[in-house]
Chains A and B, each alone.
Chain A
């Protein structure tokens, strides 16, 4: 029988040793992708996901059930990432490092589409965290606005306005006329 996320969490608390592993199997890829998009090094992302899983494993009893398990886990991860940002004063805005951009570009054909994506990531890194976070969660990781609101602890309207301001800023930074970009896409 396939169990729901909440059933797995309850089973974990009841002593089912495999239940949390099943949750890890369901959500580790998503947590990893979010961590990689938030933290510049794979090592940091690895530690952040592991820390998140440990906190969730030990603190499962504190899950209140007023949001989905994936939202709860993501909120823990975002808090872990924010803790790391706060402790890393050298990179307060957590930019994607230049060498990472170069390495990424070198591994791929430098097609116009790739260049545009790299430009987009560079531009995204220059946004303030309060705009970058909701934009990444919505645009890159597919969260609905309401879930982002829960994860970040701000009203949905705030998420919308931050996303809208961030999008406008991206548009300004990229300075690519819409028609030109669409031609590249074809």
Chain B
């Protein structure tokens, strides 16, 4: 245990001082006040061995592949104050650990939701009412579209372009007030300006926030080129 650990544990069973010279336990009836000492004496020497260094390295490598943690806006407080959104310690920390499956499902829902809108409600300014109006371009190329066409842009892929890096993406989203993962995205040329279109959940089924940020969005800056919420 670290000397600066916050734990108030004073008699860990793995400390040599707590161990008797021999390992055989003895059961003694006794008052409840002696319970802790009695149990520690009883189980002296039974704690499993420490993990192998390779195992710990593997755990750390797994952590290195994770996206940044959720927002620190409700983060740990040295003063121990509770935040409105805090959960009980040890509770399952939300959907991020199950991100791939959730993201795939949600991306599919986005595509269905966006493609399923009546033409005139999808694109009030497009005038055609027959389709997206956006120019798809060659595969892998940015989608060419105007602001008026933005609500019609079906975000069926998950090509986040310059925001592929999770750390950069999280920093960018944090700067625009978002802390979740995009449901989908793709590079676009919006009214002639390169950007990354992100489809973000709003917390309401069938309602999506479409955000276009500049490709350099990250820790240092975040320029929002377009921001529209579409859906029911």
Contacts and interface: CB of A to CB of B under 8 A. Distances in A.
Interface stretch (B6-14, B106-114, B121-129): B6-14
A184 B71 CA distance: 56
A185 B170 CA distance: 58
B57 to A, nearest CB: 10
Contact of B46 (A9, A62, A112, A117): A117
B96 to A, nearest CB: 5
Centre residue among B11, B27, B73, B167 by max chain A CB count within 10 A? B27
B75 interface: yes
Contacts of B8: 68, 144, 146-147
Contact of B56 (A7, A28, A182): A28
A58 B40 contact: no
Contact of A33 (B47, B56, B83): B47
B130 interface: no
Chain A contact surface mostly:
helix
A28 B66 contact: no
A94 interface: no
A101 interface: no
Contact of A57 (B4, B63, B79): B63
A58 B76 contact: no
Given A70-B9, A185-B24, A30 B32 contact: no
7 contacts: A5-B5, A61-B72, A70-B9, A71-B89, A113-B22, A136-B43, A142-B18
Interface of B: 1-15, 18, 20, 22-29, 32, 35-36, 38-40, 42-43, 45-51, 55-56, 58-60, 62-63, 66-83, 86-94, 96-97, 167, 171
Given A26-B1, A64-B88, 13 more contacts: A28-B56, A33-B47, A61-B74, A113-B24, A117-B25, A120-B25, A138-B39, A142-B15, A144-B9, A147-B7, A160-B32, A174-B27, A186-B22
Interface of A: 2-7, 9-10, 12-15, 20-21, 24-26, 28-30, 32-33, 36-37, 46, 49-50, 53-72, 75-76, 78-79, 112-114, 116-117, 120-121, 135-136, 138-147, 150-151, 153, 160, 163-164, 167-168, 170-171, 174, 176, 178, 181-182, 184-186
